[in-house]
């Protein structure tokens, strides 16, 4: 029951920001079980999905990709070097902002079986306001960095907008 409610919370948010969720059986191997990106949408095989928080990470990939490239995701036309290391960093910090928006525990996204055994380290950094990759999100026009002069609700982890 908890997994279904969590899945609904996450997918509702993703759809609200303009990223499609398509439920279907996925037979081919995927980087993350039960998830595949295709033309700006997330394909979800509920029977194979292990961690609902992985949806936020995958949504982050779509959200931080240039609009003109989103429809190329998952196709042969997408450059082979996508996502780059910078894209991955932007996706990780975007995911943190999303879980903050949804009032979810960081472990929902940064679970023990992800992030190359760096999940605890990422949670520690983010929870201590060491927002690794934040300049990328600001450069993309998605948020404002925190400053001593500006303590408004417009500073990270709050976002100005969710899609690049």
Residue 34 pLDDT greater than 90, yes or no: yes
CA distance 38 to 48: 17
CA distance 56 to 49: 13
Q: How many helices (H) and strands (E) does the chain have?
A: 7, 3
The mean per-residue pLDDT over the stretch 77-101 comes to 96
Check residue 152 and give its pLDDT.
Answer: 58
Mean pLDDT score across all residues of the chain: 92
Is the distance from CB of 161 to CB of 101 less than 8 angstroms? no
């Amino acid at each position: 029951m908890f997994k279904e409610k969590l899945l609904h919370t996450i997918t509702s948010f993703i759809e609200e920001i303009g990223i499609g969720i398509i439920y279907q059986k996925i037979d081919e191997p995927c980087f993350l079980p039960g998830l595949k990106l295709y033309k700006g949408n997330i394909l979800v095989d509920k029977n194979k999905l292990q961690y609902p928080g992985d949806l936020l990470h995958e949504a982050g990939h779509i959200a931080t990709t240039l609009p003109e490239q989103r429809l190329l995701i998952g196709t042969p036309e997408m450059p082979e070097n996508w996502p780059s290391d910078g894209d991955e960093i932007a996706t990780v910090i975007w995911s943190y902002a999303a879980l903050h928006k949804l009032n979810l525990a960081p472990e929902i996204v940064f679970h023990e079986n992800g992030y190359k055994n760096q999940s605890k380290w990422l949670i520690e950094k983010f929870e201590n306001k060491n927002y690794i990759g934040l300049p990328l999100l600001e450069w993309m026009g998605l948020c404002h960095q925190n400053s001593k002069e500006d303590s408004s609700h417009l500073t990270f982890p709050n976002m100005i907008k969710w899609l690049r």
